[in-house]
Amino acid sequence: MIHASTTWKQQFQFEGKGNEGIAVAMDGDGKTGNSPSQLVLIALCGCTAYDVVSILQKKREPLNGLEVSAEAEKATDSPRVYTAIKLVYRIAGNVTRKAAEDAVRLSEQKYCSVSAMLSKTARITYEIQVDSQ
């Protein structure tokens, strides 16, 4: 069972915790923490990054680094859901382009649960940059 909770601290500041009890600062005004919707994008980047690293390691690809970033657009009316998300994968190492593309595609189409949820309201696109090091 997955458990999450949020406690109001002050103004629009909250502290969230998951099963492990690790605190995450949230701020609706963005002054002392990420907003809840920004945390969703961070979760998307983390989810797909985990998949890509796992897949490339299983393929024994020489991965030296990975950064996943997201740019998103939101609906103008409430609820202001994400309508478009572009993920950029910056992969460092002597990873083949085909292996990188396969890993990203598998994450998007099969493994990343956050992507699966967000794809219900947002068009998710991606770009892959491989920097051989």
Distance CA 32, CA 123 (A): 30
Rounded mean pLDDT, 113-124: 97
DSSP H or E stretch at residue 49? helix 36-58
- For the chain, percent of residues with pLDDT exceeding 90: 94
Average pLDDT score over residue span 2-10? 96
Read off the pLDDT of residues 75-104 as tens digits, 9 standing for 90 and up: 999 999 999 999 999 999 999 999 999 999
Mean pLDDT of 62-68: 97
Reply yes or no on domain 43-131 having CATH 3.30.300.20. yes
- Residue 62 binned pLDDT confidence (cut-offs 50, 70, 90): very high
Give the pairing type, strands 82-93 and 63-74.
antiparallel
Question: What per-residue confidence (pLDDT) applies to 133?
Answer: 62
Round to whole Å and give the CA distance between 119 and 108: 10
- Report pLDDT for 66: 98
For the chain, the domains span 1-34, 43-131
Please report the pLDDT score of residue 30 as a whole number.
84
Give the model confidence (pLDDT) of 28-38 as tens digits. Answer: 988 899 999 99
d(CA 114, CA 59): 23
